Amino acid sequence: MSIAFQGERGAYSEIAAEKFFNCNIKFIPCKDLEDVFKIVEASYVDYGIIPVENSIEGSVTRSYDLMRESNLKITGEIVIRISHCLISYHDYEIKDIKKVYSHPQALGQCKNFIRKQKLATYPTYDTAGSVKMLSRRRIKYAAAIASNKAAEIYGLKILAEGIEDDKNNYTRFLIISRNMIKPIGKVKTSIVFTVKHVPGSLYKALKVFASRGINLTKIESRPVIGRPWEYYFYLDFEGSIENNIVKNALKELSKKTTYIKVLGSYKQSSNHYTSNYL
């Protein structure tokens, strides 16, 4: 099985994929999220895994845009607890560090620690990629924020563990593939739609779920480019598109929207996994 993810080996997306599939995996690291979608679409890999939201920093908006633009389907989800480490060279201690490199989301999740240590921040494209960068060239007084797996892979030293501001720090990841699945068990469905820019249009759209007792678990809005102050609405709800109640709700919703797309039905994540590699 082959899986594409954004970042370098040791990234949290890789850890999430290992926990979701629990089998031997050939990982294909990608520079950015666009590349993950491209190589899954081109059948170079079986699946992709993408982050969509964090309990501290909120949504990964680019992931939402790409899901709408792509023909790939969501086939699974996993939520893991993110435990960040401060990682640097073996001859450094915390007192020696003056600047820190990491993905903007990770920097945001550790801002209290960063402020307390009075560190200058340098955003990069990936958490594990920051550790890889330090391993390849010496940067004075520098450290990275990433997983303990990244420290192990690139042979650097963990100066501090659990530096995130809130221990209830979770990230939700989605599994994407070329084909829709028919999930069993507790199922969640994700859709995206637009409505007319008139009073009550969103209320009427959401009412089709409330009137049928369908529980909404997430709503997210993204701007419609070229149409200022109009939005795509991304919705997650409990239930499968194979369910007759859900089918009827979507049929009615199609009459109240100007655009609708089903992103996938998939088994709902029932566990929160720690990101610790040990």
Strand pairing category for 187-194 and 231-238: antiparallel
Q: How far apart are the first and last CA of the chain?
A: 23
Catalytic residue among 75, 171, 194, 257: 171
Is 194 part of the annotated catalytic residue set? no
Please state, as a whole number, how many other Cβ atoms lie within 10 Å of the Cβ of residue 144. Answer: 31
The alpha carbon of 40 is separated from its chain's Cα centroid by a whole number of angstroms, namely: 16
Spatial CA neighbour of 134 closest among 95, 85, 171, 170: 85
> Which residue of the set 27, 113, 173, 233 is catalytic?
173
**Spacing of C-alpha 194 from chain mean position:** 23
Question: Quick check: is 171 catalytic?
Answer: yes
Cα→Cα distances 98→118, 120, 161, 201, Å: 7, 6, 17, 52
Q: Tell how strand 73-81 and strand 272-274 pair up.
A: parallel
| Separation CA 256–CA 278 (nearest Å) | 50
Q: Annotated active-site positions, please?
A: 171, 173
